Amino acid sequence: MLVLGIETSCDETGVAFYHSECGLLAHALYTQAALHAEYGGVVPELASRDHIRRVLPLTRGILKQARCALTDLDAVAYTEGPGLAGALLVGASVAHGLAYALGVPALGIHHLEGHLLSPLMGKPAPQFAFIALLVSGGHSQLMRVAGVGDYELLGETLDDAAGEAFDKTAQLLGLGYPGGPQIAELAARGHPGRIKLPRPMLHSGDLDFSFSGLKTAVLTQIKGRDLDAQVRADIAAEFQAAIVEVLVAKSLAALEDTGLQQLVVAGGVGANRELRSRLTRSAGRRGFEVFYPAPEFCTDNGAMIAFAAALRLTHASRLSPLASRSFSVRPRWDLGTLRPISA
């Protein structure tokens, strides 16, 4: 089964062809980071307009790369939510238009499900059930993943997600957008511990997170201080260390609480090298395995959408109805409303 996946939930336009037997055939991703950098964050209207410009040329490009024709498609998948309403509508309208013209199903995929399942594209791949740490610009969650569509929320952020904290702290330090890569680069020249920052909710006794106070603590450290290059680097290093320590501790606690042995890390912050290094070492000492998607699949991408759709369509008892002329998107969509696929 050949599926075209389209991802337009926020500020990255991703398209991909995934074959249920041959794997990923081709994918392309365009990031709008430079477009939004001068505003310090995503401007929804600009994001939507840029998706319109990019999605069809990117799709034509991967058609050539995969040596496929549109008529080879068995389904078209798209991110139905959550995300920015205007951006989601671009992907949904293109997907439904193509699917209707080709007479194939159009399948809306939950954005977070795409992230949760993306490490299954790698080799070796985790086996159900596993714990998933989802860390991105908008989400910091720990999930128990028992199968496709079978997700249990174990803990989540009570305020800013890890990615948001990175972005906001980067602004405080005079860095660019997105903040995660900028802080990681600066932190490599700093020394954690020289400037003390809290580890929010590290000993809370639950699996929830809170990163807003950490950002405020950075602001407090900055006020009245001479921010030379080394001080900025030390703050970045301590900030990164604080977030990593909390994420590692909560992830290991989730594994111990559930008795599961495998951890999957997904989302943009999952590309952070310090997080990967600390998690791998700490989990390995306790006999746990950690799985990461390739760095190119940590951020939003079409491959994870095509892959999630292929899993659902391959194992469903029947194919979804053919695309209709009407459709909707879900800017807010609770992952808990999804149901396991029927074998």
How many CB atoms are located within 10 Å of the residue 271 CB?
A: 21
Residue 76 · residue 106 · CB < 8 Å: yes
Give the predicted TM-score (pTM) of the model.
Answer: 0.92
Three-state DSSP class for 197? Answer: coil
> Where are the CATH 3.30.420.40 domain residues in the chain?
2-116+298-337, 127-292
Query: Could you report the per-residue pLDDT of 136-156, keeping only the tens digit for each?
Result: 878 899 999 999 999 999 999
Q: pLDDT, tens digit, for every residue of 288-339?
A: 999 999 888 999 999 999 999 999 998 765 555 666 667 899 999 999 899 8
What are the tokens at 127?
Answer: 């086996």
- Given a cut of 80, is residue 171 above it in pLDDT? yes
Torsion region of 193: left, alpha or beta (phi above 0 gives left; psi -120 to 50 gives alpha) = left
pLDDT digits (tens, 9 = 90+) for 59-100: 999 999 999 999 999 999 999 999 999 999 999 999 999 999
Residue range 213-236: mean pLDDT, rounded? 92
Q: How far apart are CA 184 and CA 275, in angstroms?
A: 10
Q: Which superfamily is assigned to 2-116+298-337 in CATH?
A: ATPase, nucleotide binding domain (3.30.420.40)
* Domain 127-292 homologous superfamily, CATH: ATPase, nucleotide binding domain (3.30.420.40)
**How many Å is the Cα radius of gyration of the chain?**
20
Please give the Cα distance from 253 to 251 (Å, whole number): 5
Q: Looking at the predicted structure, is the pLDDT value of residue 179 above 80?
A: yes
pLDDT at site 326: 77
Write the pLDDT tens digit of every residue in 101-125.
999 999 999 999 999 999 999 889 9
Q: Give me the pLDDT at residue 340, please.
A: 87
> Confidence class of residue 343 from pLDDT cuts 50, 70 and 90?
very low
| 231 vs 201: CA distance, rounded Å | 26
So what's the pLDDT on residue 322? 65
